[in-house]
Amino acid sequence: MDLRTAFSCALLLVTLLPPSVNASSKMYIVYIGERKHDDPSVVTSSHHDILTSIFGSKDEALESIVYSYKHGFSGFAAMLTESQAETLAKFPEVTSVKPNTYHEPHTTRSWDFLGLGVSQQPPEQHGLLQKANYGEDVIIGVIDSGIWPESLSFDDTGYGPVPTRWKGVCQVGQAWNTTSCNRKIIGARWYSGGVTEEVLKDNYLSPRDLSGHGTHVASTIAGGEVWNVSYKGSGLGAGVARGGAPRSRLGVYKVCWEGGSCQEAAILAAIDDAINDGVDILSLSLGGGAGEEIFGSLHAVLRGIPVVFSGGNDGPMPSTVNNAVPWVTTVAASTMDRSFPTLMTLGNKEKLVGQSLHYNTSVISSDFKGLVHARSCDVQALASSNVTGKIVLCYAPGEAQVALIDAMILTVEAGANGLIFAQNAANNLDNLGACGRFMPCVLVDFEIAQRIASYWKRTGNPVVMVSSTVTVVGNGVLAPRVASFSSRGPSAEFPYILKPDVAAPGVSILAAVRGSYVLLSGTSMACPHVSAVTALLKSVHRNWSPAMIKSAMVTTASLTDRFGMPIQAEGFPRKLADPFDFGGGHINPDRAVDPGLVYDVDARQEGCSGAPP
């Protein structure tokens, strides 16, 4: 067995979960391998027998087990002491015993940008979306923070019966009953085992999504058409919201809890259930740190289920990518041809542009305001500057800068009337929504910030006027670019495997959260774009394996932007993107449907002892 095979077969690497009720024990994941029995109850019974031999009591064994993995593979998660875990690791049938870990969760224009607009193709031509019949009846499993079923994106009007191959359930719970599922959300499960009572009391004990992350992801993948949508109803980003595979079905698996992250043990349980439920695709917009891989995903791929992961948000530093196991598709985040420019006019009539979500009419003013440069905008800098009623520039290259959210809070508390915040890339607008209620907050890059600072320095009475934000799409925006936050390769765990695999839109994506539509950024938002394209390709090419679908996307990806210039990667400094930034390039769905050549891989032929015959 070579090194690559050894890594592919080392199925579980995890770290630590907070202790259970018994302070001397914690959750461990015991991986056994492929099932030795077709009957899941027999597999579970074997797990009980193993634990009984450790505890000496069947009652204690049953009490200790949290999850039994019995469909896609064999193993379990249980509360064990360190000595019990060490004893289990010596059993001949046990492949590995590792502590549990936490993972973190890593939106209208993007599909048009990718060439998958509903009305973009001439009547006589058909692109991937039409060839796939909009993803009709493809079942996509979303492992995330749950879903908000009342969102218009999940209306099932016009859908036929649930596919007969679906074996999943609609697990009831708090603010969720069997009618919360429908012909769009055809199944939902939630996994609370091992989550502390403190976390659970602040969450819905059901598949209902509190954070909004899972809802945003699911609607990006499979949301139906919703007309006249914009960011929080403001008119920004207005258009038709829909998912990339709008006629597909959703199976929802809630493993992420607000305030408690996403447990490895629960993720594995969700993968195991999803395999048995009959999903066609698995989408996971989550991950741990570099090197913390979810090896159990191999069992889904071995059963013909493509698995798509986000690559992480720790860029632009190298070797920060995670979810880098070779059998999954790992996604980097890119910008698209939409921006939210905000005009800033200085007292010398110079006009500069940043980005903002400045739409609240109650805080929009057409007057010039005093301008003050408070450098890093920490408490000391603000206290030493007269910022009351003024617009504050936060710009401190070479120094440790406060986070944007801290700068917003501190400037509001100091009585400022606006904030101009400099950062390396001025297009991650996620946190600006909270600011807009109080004052305009504008993001600028360091070049623009330096021009504002120079004006402030040489002017006795510097002033600035911030206009309201507008939406610009199309050729006026240079795109795509690899987002600065997108994690870069090579993988620290698998340096010989090129990761990420492909890039997709992940900056300022508009999608559903509860009953509204909001902008979010991250590889979490890029991942569902690739999941949807995977679903469309699966619909057209039912006989393609996960590796073939992945190869079609990677080998047809674009290396140039819409103007024919090489795609750039935001960073320190900006540079031409390379394979460690975006893998094969930026996804091109219509080329992927007919790539000319696809590559296949069969892990069963690699000598994996854990793979089925």
Supply the residues annotated as catalytic: 144, 213, 524
Please give the C-alpha separations between residue 157 and each of 153, 494, 534, 604, in angstroms, as whole numbers: 11, 45, 24, 42
Please give the C-alpha separations between residue 457 and each of 19, 410, 417, 466, in angstroms, as whole numbers: 55, 23, 20, 19
Nearest CA among 218, 442, 473 for reference residue 335: 473
Please give the C-alpha separations between residue 332 and each of 355, 480, 505, 558, in angstroms, as whole numbers: 22, 12, 8, 14
| Rounded CA separation 395/381 (Å) | 11
499 phi and psi, to 5 degrees? -140, 150
Tokens of 248: 């597909």
| Rounded CA separation 583/309 (Å) | 14
**Residue whose pair of structure tokens reads 């949807």 in the numeric block:** 532
Beta strand 481-482 with 249-254 is unpaired
For 531-549, b where at least 16 C-beta lie within 10 A, e where not — what string? bbbbbbbbbbbeebbbbbb
**Are 99 and 17 contacting, i.e. CB atoms less than 8 angstroms apart?**
yes
Tokens of 535: 């679903």
Render 210-247 in DSSP notation, one character per residue: SSSHHHHHHHHHHPPPEEEE-GGGSSTT-EEE--SSTT
**Are 362 and 43 contacting, i.e. CB atoms less than 8 angstroms apart?**
no
Please give the C-alpha separations between residue 349 and each of 341, 422, 453, 455, in angstroms, as whole numbers: 18, 21, 15, 11
SS (H, E, C) 393-431: EECCCCCCCCCHHHHHHHHHHCCCCEEEEECCCCCCCCC
Which positions ≥6 away from 489 have C-beta within 8 Å?
318, 319, 321, 324, 498, 499, 500, 579, 580, 581, 583
CB atoms within 10 A of CB 10: 16
Nearest CA among 13, 31, 37 for reference residue 89: 31
**Are 536 and 244 contacting, i.e. CB atoms less than 8 angstroms apart?**
yes
Q: Which amino acid is at 608?
A: C
Tokens of 79: 């509360």
